[in-house]
Amino acid sequence: MSSYYHESWKDVLEKEFSSNYFHTIANHLKNEYKHQTIFPKKEDVFRAFLLTPINKTKVVILGQDPYHGIGQAMGLSFSVPQNEKIPPSLKNIYKELANDKELLSEFKIPGHGNLESWANQGVLLLNAVLTVRANQPGSHKDIGWHFFSDNVISHLSANCNNLVFLLWGNFAKTKIKLIDHNKHLVLTAAHPSPFSASNGFFGCKHFSKTNKYLKLNKISEINWNL
């Protein structure tokens, strides 16, 4: 399994993997992968931890659970592979970026939804739940993944400095209590879903605020262009 995540995460993740709750997750998934179509592929479940080393992490964007359509989930929150149709929430993320006039470099809306370049720059694209059954959103929300993601967030809060946490939507906002606001910047807004984006996501300027905070703390900014 270690080939599925960056070695910098080894101590953090192996502690979780050895816990009782994770044995429950593993047993559940072993059966599910045999009898159900599960997303993402096994090798991509921990992809966020492969592309973004813990010591390079600058920003955490928290999603809820993976896309449940065929070919969409790739182990990175909000991201889809290069050749997949851009999902509605990601379209709205792009729209907000394009309208954020406080960004130093103008954002050009791409023709794809692959966010790997963000991950490679230190944006941890973390879903609170890391797996899902095909066409059944939220189907794995009760198998124990919340223990895993909560512990990851708590570890980042306690052991890193000057991270930016982007929490969009009511679910993500419940994680505020896990984060030390004296050490990190926490930005909250409505979810970028078409159902809620107009209620506070559009105009939040989270991307320019993120870069201003990073610059203030002498951390290299994120190039949001893909």
Q: Which sequence positions are flagged as catalytic?
A: 65
25 φ, ψ to 5°?
-60, -50
- Amino acid (one-letter) located at 186: V
Give 77's contacts (C-beta < 8 A, 6+ positions apart).
48, 61, 62, 63, 125, 126, 127
Taking the CA atoms of 150, 146, 165 and 187 in sequence, report the sign of the dihedral they define: negative
Sequential DSSP letters for 52-121:
S-GGG--EEEEESS---STTT--SSTT---TTSPPPHHHHHHHHHHHH-TTSSS-----SS---HHHHHT
Distance set, CA 162 to CA 17, 41, 98, 205 (Å): 27, 33, 25, 18
SS3 139: coil
